[in-house]
A and B are shown apart, each in its own frame.
Chain A
Amino acid sequence: MKSRNITGKILPLVSILVYLFLWVAAIVLIVYSFSNDSFGIRWTGFTLKWYSNVFNDALAMGALKSSLFISSVTVVVSTIAGTLAAYGLYKYEFHGRRVLRMSTLLPITIPYVVTAGALLVFFTKVIHIPLGYPAIIIAHISFSTPLAVFVVLGRMARIDWTLEEASTDLGADGLTTWRRITIPLLLPAILSSAALIFPWSFNDFTITYFVAGVGTMTLPIYVFSLLQYSLTPVIINAISTVFVAVPVIGMLLMNFLQKKEVA
């Protein structure tokens, strides 16, 4: 009984420490993004001017718009493609299904720089897609779709599929069953994968850098270039806060939706 009490006290403490370890860097960065110090390394008073600088920086805003556009398109296409692929992999028997399922995450495990170089050559030498938005979006879809497949497959393994059979038995056609039973059952996973893919795509630097064309610089590329010469690098803190905020908002959204499902 006594040991259970001690465990009950230690475990929350350990959890807090782990979370602190995970978040402390991001918290420091966010706090210093509001510091008056132009290098963002010490607290010299509160200011919002670095955010104002970011919003007045045409290159930064252009890069932000590019990033939002690319990530939004990637989320839509990747979640749809990933859901369809996961459904097919789970429900239908065909040759090579096991291999395909096992290799779902393979594209993510390949070093990014290898994928990036390969995609650049593929786009420019093989299929002649111009570098820029089309190339970036295709590249992002290629490394984001496996995430959707993975998440949706995980959900499918926990679904009671007799509901689909019941729907059919009660006279619903395939489309109605898909719309009224399957999609609602899969929706939490679809939304989860979207919440995962958006920051995944938004934050990507390596692959985007290689396949970006003229005038399609994304926010991570801009930040990386700023690191070299900017004399007010604190605006990097402000921009980085955006990078932290995007996945946090995604996670909160996912949590909200899951709570609604439980309710």
Chain B
Amino acid sequence: MKVKNFLRGKWVAHSFIAGALVLLLLVAFLPGCVPAPEEEVTPPPEEEVTPPPEEGPYEKYVASLSEGCFPVPRECFEQAREEGKLRIYDWAAWWPEELYTDFEKEFGIEIIRDNYGDYDEARTKMLLYPDIPYDIVQAPPRTQVELRERGIVVEYNHDWIPNVNRYIDSVWAQQEWDPGYRYFVPTSLGTNAFSINALYIDENHPLLPSYAFLFEATEAFSGRLVMRDSMYRVIAHALKYLGYSLNTVDEGELMEARDQLMKLKPHIMEFSGWPKREVMADECWVMCGVTNDFLGMSRVHDPPGVLKAILPPEGCFLSPTGNIILRGGPNPAAAHLWNNYLYRPENFAKLIELIAYSYPHTGIDDLLSEEVRAWAKIDPEYLKKCEILKPEAYTGKGEEIRSEIWKELKA
């Protein structure tokens, strides 16, 4: 009777048993599908013909370098190969993938990459977990300063980064956030201003290229302005327009900036973390953001060439990015090797050719296409009028007033 009942209609029980079996199989097999970040990288097989003693991997590496490239010391090279891995925390789809794959091929070191979606979130995570085991993190100076003050960032061994020593621009090497590039190897510099779509905005508008266009010619783009969803950058536009430092902590100056932004508010389409799509769809005609990004966008825009980056004569907000090494990273030699590899002129040129950001490398001017060089290279005189965010702006009173303005603006 029991058997009969069982066969007759207990489909639910059957389903449950079948489901449990499927789940168990999933549990049993899925681990095999998971990427194995900790898997050991098999070093390239040794040549069957025993090379002469002086022809070891280090000698081959040194011999393979093109003119103008400097090798890391043997100690760094061998330690990096022993480490076998490099853990990088950076943006997705920004830098050329071949930089990573070529490094893996050349050194037999596996790169494990994780991507963040925002500097501030990554910073929060690193502050909450100071021993986070990343070797290299792409970060802005502000993050570097904060992490360094908490002992989370490790100092570079300059003997292990000879290409950086050789090619770093002297101005970049002595930045106030890290004199002597002890903790921060700069990689690029973004200029934050705005762009226009020349299909809809007259390139010869009398107020261009000044910030006055943004704050006084609102009828030209009303409802078609997109601003980066970034408190410091948005407020910096108004401060620059008014002729003030973007790092000011003067309440009166900040309130003037607030008034200008509140007047601009009705004309803003949105604050967006990712305004590219609106630009490409011609939904927005003026976009505040990193002007360097517009080269790539203008190439794929239909029709091409109508997106124009505007660098206002008042100067702009600079957003440098660099590599820092974290104390929790288990592969410090590989991290140094990576920086030295990156600073080879041909590699750095590959990077800048794709991202079109201003660069701290003195050896790549001739390697860049004319278009990218014209886009990325900024007149040093102009740079003097630009500023990066300083601690007084993002801490204490400076941060408090800006937060209040930001809340009001976004309300």
Q: Which residues of A contact B (CB under 8 A)?
A: 38-42, 59, 62, 65-66, 68-69, 72-73, 75-76, 117, 120-121, 124, 131, 133, 179-180, 183-185, 187-188, 190-191, 209-210, 212-217, 221-222, 224-231, 233, 257, 260-261
Contact = CB atoms under 8 A, between A and B. Distances in A.
B132 interface: yes
Interface in B57-114: 87, 91-94, 112-114
Contact of A184 (B13, B91, B297): B13
Contacts of B131: 124
Contacts of A69: 30-31, 33-34
* In the complex, the 3 A-B pairs of residues with the closest C-beta atoms, listed nearest first: A215-B37, A224-B117, A225-B115
A40 B281 CA distance: 9
Contact of A261 (B12, B115, B129, B293): B12
Contacts of A222: 92, 115
A125 to B, nearest CB: 9
Given A69-B31, A120-B125, A225 B13 contact: no
A246 to B, nearest CB: 14
A184 B14 CA distance: 9
Contact of B281 (A42, A212, A226): A42
20 contacts: A59-B113, A72-B30, A124-B128, A183-B16, A184-B10, A191-B19, A209-B125, A213-B133, A215-B35, A217-B115, A221-B114, A222-B115, A228-B91, A228-B117, A228-B118, A228-B274, A229-B293, A230-B93, A231-B297, A231-B300
A73 B112 contact: no
Given A120-B125, A227-B117, 17 more contacts: A38-B300, A39-B280, A40-B277, A41-B277, A66-B35, A69-B33, A73-B27, A73-B30, A120-B128, A124-B129, A124-B131, A214-B87, A228-B92, A229-B355, A230-B93, A231-B297, A233-B274
Nearest to A257: B15
Contacts of A215: 35, 37-38, 87, 112, 114
Nearest to B93: A230
A38 B302 CA distance: 11
Interface of A is mostly: helix
Nearest to B278: A41
Given A183-B13, A231-B300, A76 B277 contact: no
B273 A227 contact: yes
B337 to A, nearest CB: 18
B25 to A, nearest CB: 10
A191 to B, nearest CB: 7
Interface string B1-38: 00000000011110110010001001100110111011
B313 interface: no
A229 B92 contact: yes
B134 interface: yes
Given A222-B92, A227-B117, A231-B296, A72 B128 contact: no
Contacts of B37: 214-216
Interface of B: 10-13, 15-16, 19, 23, 26-27, 30-31, 33-35, 37-38, 87, 91-94, 112-118, 121, 124-125, 128-129, 131-134, 273-274, 276-277, 280-281, 293, 296-297, 300, 355
B112 A214 contact: yes
Nearest to A215: B37
Contacts of B112: 214-215
Contacts of B19: 191
A2 B34 CA distance: 62
A2 to B, nearest CB: 46
B10 A229 contact: no
B34 A117 contact: no
Nearest to A235: B93
B129 A76 contact: no
A209 B117 CA distance: 9
B114 A212 contact: yes
Given A41-B281, A59-B92, A131-B129, A233 B276 contact: yes
A133 B128 contact: no
B129 A120 contact: yes
B33 A68 contact: yes
A72 B23 CA distance: 8
